[in-house]
Every structure is written in structure tokens, then in C-alpha cells.
């Protein structure tokens, strides 16, 4: 029984701190007035390894800052949406997954009870990068400081992480989920391209190769509170509507963008 409990905790810990990314796949060079498909998934890249049923936040930010809700439908264990760019500039997908709670005590161990939050954005420049640095100052964000339009392998990409509008320390990593030539093929992500930590949220990356990049940033917020569960826990530890106390917040944010050849 002890072995089973340890294995269960290991599975939970892997799920809690896994390399799964909330990311989007889309055309590298979208055209004006096109009907562009956007596929949103939760996995290691190339396919949705964990089924994504819904997102409480799924918005499209236009280059002029206009915010509209994305209409999504289930597709290949992820979610499929469509956008039709009507002006030049950077369109931004703004996403957030359902929050969850993780408590080591459920598996007979000690540690902090964490409120786990997942945020994501995708940069889609259409013939211009205008509006690429949009921010709403809420939750965990990666705000670019480098215009993503026309960026290519070998360039430098700068950004900064914020928690509710303030710079935040944390750790980061990046993977490449697609190369420019295999967008229609299923492909697992390759090794981590880079990783490190930042004392103030500043990110300065060397773009080592072309492809669809997913940059992630993780932080720990020392803040206690009470969270009302929005859905049943798959493992049965809580039910929708339960009021649950937590010791700290463990947010992660993902930023998807293309790097050209």
C-alpha cells in the first residue's frame, strides 16, 4: 500500500510540475482577411497529451487593443478556433486554464498547499508587430519587449514577467514545438532549448533555431487565501463549489511565437 501511495504522489507531482504547456498552433505567416485556424492544446508540443475541454478565459486582442471572445470547439483533444485578421499588426491570444489545488498531504507528505494557475498568450503578427506589448496587468504575464514580426533564428528576444502588473522573480524555459516545414505533421517537442532563473522577471533569450517557440515562466506567490473549486478534482480530493484554503499561489505562464529562418 505504501508503494501505491508513493506512486500516486509521484504521478501527482509530475502533473503539478510537468513540462506540459498550454500553447497554440497557427500559421507562421498569416495573411490579412484570411480565415486562420488556431489550435489550442495542453501537452509537450505537437499533440494534446492531456484533454482540454474548456478554457474560462479565451480572448483575442486586436492590434488596436480591442478585446473579443474566441469561439472554440473540441478538436483532437484540444480546442479549435478561427480568427480573420482585418488590419495589420500583432493579434494576441489571451488564455487561462481552470485553476486547481495541489496538497501534498493527500499523499501522506508534508508541504505547502498550492493554488495552481495556468496562463497563456500567443503572438500572431500580421504584416506588422504593432500592439505586440499589450498587457492587462492581471495574473502572471510575459510581456514582450522585442517586436516579434520578422524575428528569425539568431536574433535576441527580450521580455519581462509580471504578476498583477509588478515584476516577479521566477524560473523560465523554452521549447520548440514545430519547425517551419512540419506544421501539418504530428511532432513531439525536442529537448529544452534554454532554461534559467530571473530575479526580477527580465528575460533575454537567444533564438537558437527557427520554429514555433513556447516560452514558460513559473513563479511562487507567498499569499494565503481561500479558493472556491470550479470543478470536481479528477482524483476526488474536492468537488465543485468547495471552499479550500491554500498556503501559496503557483502560477505558470506560456508565450507562443514563431521564429523564422
Locate the domains of the chain by residue range: 2-259
pLDDT at 11: 41
Q: What share of the chain is helix, strand, coil (3-state, %, to 5)?
A: 5, 45, 45
pLDDT at 47: 55
- Rounded to whole angstroms, the Cα distance separating 254 from 134 reads 15
pLDDT at 178: 82
pLDDT at 9: 44
Question: Nearest-CA neighbor of 203 among 151, 243, 255, 139?
Answer: 255
Averages of pLDDT over each 10 residues, the chain, 261 residues = 40 48 93 93 67 92 96 93 96 97 94 97 97 97 97 97 98 89 51 92 96 96 96 93 98 97 91
pLDDT at 14: 39
pLDDT at 62: 97
pLDDT at 53: 84
pLDDT at 46: 54
Region for residue 150 given its phi and psi (left: phi exceeds 0; alpha: psi -120 to 50; beta: otherwise):
left
pLDDT at 181: 65
How distant is the alpha carbon of residue 166 from its chain centre? 19
- Edge-to-edge strands, sheet with 21-25: 21-25, 36-43, 78-83, 73-75
pLDDT at 5: 42
- Rounded to whole angstroms, the Cα distance separating 14 from 165 reads 29
Amino acid at each position: 500500500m505504501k508503494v501505491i501511495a508513493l506512486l500516486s504522489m509521484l504521478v501527482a507531482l509530475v502533473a503539478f510540475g510537468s513540462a506540459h504547456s498550454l500553447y497554440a498552433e497557427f500559421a507562421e505567416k498569416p495573411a490579412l482577411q484570411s480565415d486562420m485556424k488556431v489550435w489550442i492544446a495542453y501537452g509537450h508540443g505537437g499533440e494534446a497529451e492531456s484533454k482540454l475541454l474548456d478554457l474560462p478565459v479565451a480572448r483575442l486582442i486586436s492590434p488596436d487593443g480591442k478585446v473579443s471572445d474566441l469561439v472554440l470547439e473540441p478538436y483532437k483533444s484540444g480546442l479549435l478556433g478561427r480568427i480573420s485578421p482585418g488590419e495589420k499588426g500583432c493579434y494576441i491570444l489571451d488564455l487561462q486554464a481552470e485553476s486547481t489545488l495541489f496538497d501534498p498531504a493527500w499523499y501522506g507528505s508534508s508541504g505547502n498547499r498550492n493554488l495552481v494557475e495556468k496562463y497563456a498568450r500567443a503572438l500572431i503578427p500580421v504584416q506588422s508587430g504593432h500592439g505586440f506589448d499589450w498587457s492587462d496587468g492581471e495574473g502572471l504575464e510575459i510581456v514582450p519587449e522585442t517586436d516579434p514580426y520578422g524575428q528569425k533564428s539568431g536574433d535576441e528576444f527580450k521580455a519581462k514577467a509580471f504578476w498583477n502588473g509588478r515584476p516577479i522573480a521566477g524560473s523560465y524555459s523554452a521549447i520548440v514545438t514545430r519547425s517551419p516545414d512540419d506544421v501539418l505533421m504530428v511532432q513531439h517537442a525536442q529537448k529544452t532549448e534554454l532554461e534559467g532563473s530571473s530575479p526580477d522577471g527580465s528575460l533575454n533569450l537567444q533564438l537558437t533555431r527557427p520554429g514555433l517557440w513556447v516560452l514558460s515562466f513559473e513563479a511562487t506567490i507567498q499569499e494565503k487565501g481561500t479558493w472556491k473549486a470550479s470543478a470536481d478534482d479528477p482524483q476526488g480530493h474536492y468537488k465543485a463549489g468547495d471552499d479550500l484554503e491554500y498556503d501559496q499561489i503557483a502560477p505558470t505562464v506560456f508565450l507562443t511565437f514563431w521564429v523564422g529562418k
